[in-house]
Amino acid sequence: MSLSSKGKKRKLTEKTKYSSELEQIKDLEQRISVSKSNYNNIVTLLEYTKDKSPKVIHSALYALYRTFSPLLSKGELQKPKNENLERDKKGLIKIWLRDNYVQYVNTLCNFLRHEEPGLQIPSLNILLNLLKIESTYLTSASGSHQFSNNHYYHVVEGLIDNENFSEPLKTEFVEKYWNTYDDLRFYFLKNASKIINFFLDSGKPKDKVGPVSKKKRLDEKSVDKLNSLMENTFSILENLRTMPTDASEIDEFWTGHPAPELSNSQENDDCEDDSDNMLFDDLFNENFEKEQTKESQKEIPHKKTKKPVLLQLSAHKRVFSDCWLALMKLPMTQESYKRILLIMHKKIIPHMPQPTLLMDYLTESYNAGGVTSILALNGLFTLINEYNLDYPDFYKKLYTLFDRNLMHVKYRSRFFRLADLFLASTYLPAQLIAAFIKRMSRLSLTAPPHGIVMIIPMIYNLIRRHPSCTVLIHNSNEHVNKLGRNHSEIDNLEDPYNFDEPDPMKSNALESSLWEMKTLQDHYFPNVATLAKIFQAKFTKPSYNLEDFLDHTYLTLIESELNRKSKKNKMPALSCERPKYIFPAEESIELIYKSEKFDVNERELVFENMKKGWEVWQF
């Protein structure tokens, strides 16, 4: 028999085996629905979830879902509360079914961590459908709205504590569920903060006395796990688009409205938050029943009707704040750190009940220096402006952020927008404003053209806004007048402005002048030279609109030059004959060599004299 025929036979055998397994799964499911005596088939279906073929696993998962769903909706998976009932056949069957259901739920949560997104997404959908069925039964059984949070906690843990958290899984959860339903978002934030805090606490040494406290808190595996936890949680949080800003916006619920008639709501915060009458509590809490029995024996005083927690905007803000504060305790990469600071002022601070809790985080970020400080500016300014944060060295730190690297970072336009806002007050001292003007002027000497075109309009606006700084344009101090008296002293003349002084009030900026702007009037880029000449004219021109200059790059400058239309009657001069040399002196040297008026020695002497000074242009 040939090799090709053997391969075909093997493929045919695998296909037949695969088809027979699918048929067997359907047959087992059908038998369970026909008679309770076939409940043992559930064990066989659970075994199929361990198969190597993803399609067989997929089929088995949905077969078990269709098997457990009607049982769950009827309460037949509930553990008997009466110990006598546990001993009869019905009670034993319920306990057995319940144990298999718990195993099924754990299997689904494990598939959330599977490498194949084709198994992750169905597992997520099944888990959330089971959550809805379970919560609906609990609500009907108790007469008040219940959310099966113990079940959902397991789902959230499977999502964020996941080394194989794929993009399709994240998109499915965020777009289809998390950004749509208020209850799923609320309990995700609540559970995620608990999970993060649990992992952080578990990394601490148990004995804080003696040599044990000197050991490392976390081993390498724990650090990797915390990094994964941080990245997964943040990737979900940064895609939040439906955080309510008013109680009326809380109106979409996966498990049903918590209070169709608000007057009938009799739930308190603890009952609504934890759904303590969850059927399958032993997934997370084995001592749950004992606690419930003790609580049921206590006399509960009569309370007035209270709005359910899910309908309270303050509760949503509270869990949002707890989740973010827990996340910021986790170790993170520099890239994640920057991404958090980028969305701080728009997506985090507005939804926190106490934004002042971010003071330490933002001040440490602002003191870190570099790009991190630039990105922390927005959030820090929001706290200063709206929540009265006191930061005495704010302008001193802002002054040091103006360095040579600033002109080359991609966040420079964002920084200049904020800097213009911070320096807008007319109550700021002239010495402070002059220091910022001089520092920007000095930076313009080494900045790229697209950076200079931001600096010049900003300096002009600052001088317009603070007339006392006009002295910088033409300073009549003695050290400035020396320039016109004796040119031999120019080399020994020093600018009184001290660029290296970190305190702007001690930089002697008002004693200096804007000689840098005079230098820029001879810049190689004509747009920069034209802008710099604004300081020679009278200050009658209105302030510049900085938005017209902040987003320039090399590309935009080149495109503007290429797209510029030439004026009529001003066509560029074109040479009709290709020149032989860059400089005329080279052509003169060649003519001397060909001339008969000079002998060999004279030619060499003339050649050396004409060549002197042009050595750098030899090619």
Q: Which of 146, 177, 147 is nearest to 159 (CA)?
A: 177
CB atoms within 10 A of CB 242: 12
Q: Provide DSSP, 554-573.
A: HHHHHHHHHTPPPPTT-PPP
210: left (phi over 0), alpha (psi -120 to 50) or beta: left
Q: For residues 82 and 67, is the Cβ–Cβ distance under 8 A?
A: no
613: left (phi over 0), alpha (psi -120 to 50) or beta: left
Q: For residues 544 and 529, is the Cβ–Cβ distance under 8 A?
A: no
Q: Under 8 Å CB-to-CB from 139, ≥6 apart: which residues?
A: 145, 146, 255, 256
Q: Under 8 Å CB-to-CB from 350, ≥6 apart: which residues?
A: 245
If DSSP codes are grouped into helix, strand and coil, which group holds residue 243? coil
Q: Which residues of the chain have pLDDT under 50?
A: 1-3, 5-6, 8-12, 205-218, 263-303, 480-491, 615-619
Q: Which residue has the tokens 């709005």?
A: 307
Alpha carbon of 132 to those of 145, 283, 307: distances in Å?
Answer: 12, 17, 22
Give the containing element (helix H, strand E) for 435: helix 430-444
User: Amino acid identity, residue 590?
Assistant: E
Phi and psi at residue 592, to the nearest 5°: -65, -40
Q: What is the pLDDT of residue 385?
A: 85
Q: What is the pLDDT of residue 70?
A: 92
Q: What is the pLDDT of residues 227-242, one digit of tens each?
A: 899 999 999 999 999 8
Phi and psi at residue 446, to the nearest 5°: -115, 5
Q: For residues 434 and 495, is the Cβ–Cβ distance under 8 A?
A: no
Q: What is the pLDDT of residues 442-454, one digit of tens each?
A: 999 999 998 899 9
Q: What is the pLDDT of residue 214?
A: 33
Structure tokens at 443: 């930076």
Q: What is the pLDDT of residue 305?
A: 56
pTM over the 0.85 mark: no
How many angstroms separate the CA atoms of 473 and 545, rounded?
21
